[in-house]
Amino acid sequence: MHNHNHQNSEPDYSTKKRSGEHKQHDNNTSQHHEHESHKNHGHKHHDHTEHHLQMIKDFRKRFWISLGLTLPILVLSPFIQNLLNYNFEFGFSKYLLFILSAFIYFYGGWPFITGLAEEFKKRQPGMMTLIAIAISVAFGYSTATTFGVEGDSFFWELASLIDIMLVGHWIEMKSVVNASGALKSLVELMPSEAHLLKNGDSEDIKVSRLKSGDLVLVRPGEKIPVDGIIEEGESNINESMVTGESKPVKKNRGDKVIGGTINGKSSVKVKVKGVGEDAYLNKVIKMVREAQNKKSKSQYLADKVAFWLTIAALVIGFGTLTTWLLIGKPFVFALERMASVMVITCPHALGLAVPLVVAISTSVSAKRGLLIRNRTAFENARKISVVVFDKTGTLTKGNFGVTRFGNFSKKTEDKEVIKLAASLESQSEHPLAEGILRKAREEKLNWDKAENFESISGKGIKGEVAGEKVKVVSPGYLKENNIKIPEGDFNDAQETVVFILKNENPLGFIALADEIRDEAFEAVETLKDNGLKLVMMTGDNKKVAKSVSEKLGLDDFYAELLPDQKLEKIKELQKNGEFICMTGDGINDAPALASADVGIAVGSGTDVAAETADIILVNSNPGDIASLIVFGQETYKKMIQNFIWASGYNIVAIPLAAGVLISAGIMISPALGAVLMSFSTVIVAINAQLLKKKMRTA
């Protein structure tokens, strides 16, 4: 682990070198294999997303066109005419019915026919195979009856089956957003251009053209374009999105910097060390991709059920045909029994069992501030045994704010302390300055301009305000100069305390910290009541981590971790049989979020964390994690109920369709099978709707 050399109660005003701090970082990153340049990731992501959107668009278009053609098919179908007791026939009506149905079969059914080919190629028959077989049997049998074979056509069943399956797949694809956006967000963090220095002049060139050893200029507020070493200048670098450290880090000549992090208020010249494949962020991208690919292979229960139903449909279907032929029944009779079996086995209900529940749970969850991007993870929320929290921005607010302030003199108002400090800090670029100035603005204070502003090496700042000598200093300065202050509670490990001196006399103090969110306390309590183990992993230093962990009453904490180390810890816990839910908000969390069984990003965090996660907490409220687990349990229950109904119905209906009880006068015709199938679908849909009620009360 790399060590941070600032004490938490001591503000890091020092100008000591911090190069040793990142040696571990070098070792860790060098262990990863080479990686493609981030330019290629952009193309791959773009292609992938385009393909995904095209598919959604395609299903939508096929559904609406097929639905439009289903209406005339229903009107022309003999079964529907008998059912509704009307007669609508003309010379070529049965051929028109055939033409419309043929169009729906080839146009609406095309994704399922090609899906069957794909599944056979992979030797994994599943839902697509089952749908394709059912629609093909329905189309083939109905076509045969149109052109002379004895029997009833069920083109209407073919059309409604295709409609339902198209809408099911469309809903399903919309509810599962592809996770590869994480790679795009990581790529976007890397600047595309850099200011290359040559013979004292700067030239803007593409980052991809930089070579190791080049010198680049990084101006204030810009992103550092590459991994490298500072050759000239010093600045505070905001590395929070990479290391999770809440304070910007002071960097001097000889210190290492990471591409994608943000420079503070001073220009620095950086010697290029890592570009393209060797860049630290690109190695993080690789970890994210590997973890995501692993996750995307998880098999859905629906596919397994569909696989066994496919086997059952084929075996029972052809078994039925063969059996009746061997008994000596006519081919037409045997074919009708086979068609009935095939049509009944096709899972209208199964095709909707998952998508409907997912669509409802995702929309209800979204209203409650939970955006679900990976439904497998959401269904698995019920299995969570350990919740891992990132600290900065998840359990804490993620920025340095004034937690308290006061004066040591009865003559001075408390706010005078903030006002004087703000006068000096307005000229400083120290991270603590921003917190003090923010407080001064909140209190609507007008501070004075400081004259003769100077930095006191490693211990604070000084200047003249309205003719008075004012200093903002660390506890170390008081100790060195033997300045006594009144007794007070200045030892909170989580706080950084500075003291204000006026003409060398202590006037007051200001305490700053990355505050714990109010909601975090409630969330920890709720999750503990649910019997979950709570762990914190942070890039911040041990003192701060220990303080936050103790205040919240967590079970364990790990501090000073880099992204790859967080990932290792997650894997370690998983090896011990734990089912991990990880929640975080920074790039430093991205690989761990992708690798955890359930990854939850806090909405206020970086796009990368959100893109890598399975679920996003829009309101950044850790308390929503408890709701998520309850929602996950309810959603899973509804799916299982729907599976049992959809499959259980088949267990009863298939033997009847095959003609097992024909001697007792019980036989299901293909048309009646279709009606029963529709009834089964309605029940599944109603059961899915009941989820709304359950989730509202959760």
Residues recognised as catalytic? 390
- Contact criterion met (CB below 8 Å) for 472 and 421: yes
Q: Which two tokens stand for residue 162?
A: 């295709």
Starting at the earlier edge strand, list the strands of the sheet with 505-516.
Answer: 396-407, 505-516, 496-502, 468-473, 460-465, 450-456
Q: Which two tokens stand for residue 397?
A: 């607010």
Q: Which two tokens stand for residue 158?
A: 């073919």
Bridge-based pairing of strands 533-537 and 386-390 is parallel
Return the closest-CA partner of residue 503 out of 529, 471, 534: 471
Kindly report the length of the chain.
Answer: 698
Kindly list the distances between the CA atom of residue 427 and the CA atoms of 1, 234, 421, 442, 451, in Å, as whole numbers in the listed order. Answer: 35, 16, 11, 19, 10
* CB neighbour list of residue 74: distance below 8 Å, 6 or more residues apart: 80, 156, 159
> What is the number of alpha carbons within 13 Å of residue 230 lying toward its C-beta?
25
CA-CA distance, 184 to 298, in Å (whole number)?
Answer: 23
**Tokens 């003192």 sit at which residue?**
543
* CB neighbour list of residue 119: distance below 8 Å, 6 or more residues apart: 125, 126, 128, 129
In which region does residue 435 sit, left (phi positive, over 0), alpha (psi from -120 to 50) or beta (all else)?
A: alpha
State the Cα torsion 249-254-260-262 to the nearest 10°: 40
Q: Which two tokens stand for residue 632?
A: 């996950």
**DSSP 8-state assignment for residue 448:** P
**Tokens 């278009």 sit at which residue?**
61
For every residue of 545-594, DSSP letters joined together read HHHHHHHHT-SEEE-S--HHHHHHHHHHHHHTT--EEEEE-SGGGHHHHH
- Contact criterion met (CB below 8 Å) for 540 and 391: yes
Starting at the earlier edge strand, list the strands of the sheet with 370-372.
Answer: 370-372, 615-617, 598-602, 580-584, 386-390, 533-537, 556-558
In which region does residue 504 sit, left (phi positive, over 0), alpha (psi from -120 to 50) or beta (all else)?
A: left
Burial (CB count <10 Å: 0-12, 13-18, 19+), residue 347 = buried
- Contact criterion met (CB below 8 Å) for 601 and 394: no
* CB neighbour list of residue 486: distance below 8 Å, 6 or more residues apart: 408, 506
Q: Which two tokens stand for residue 126?
A: 């599943």
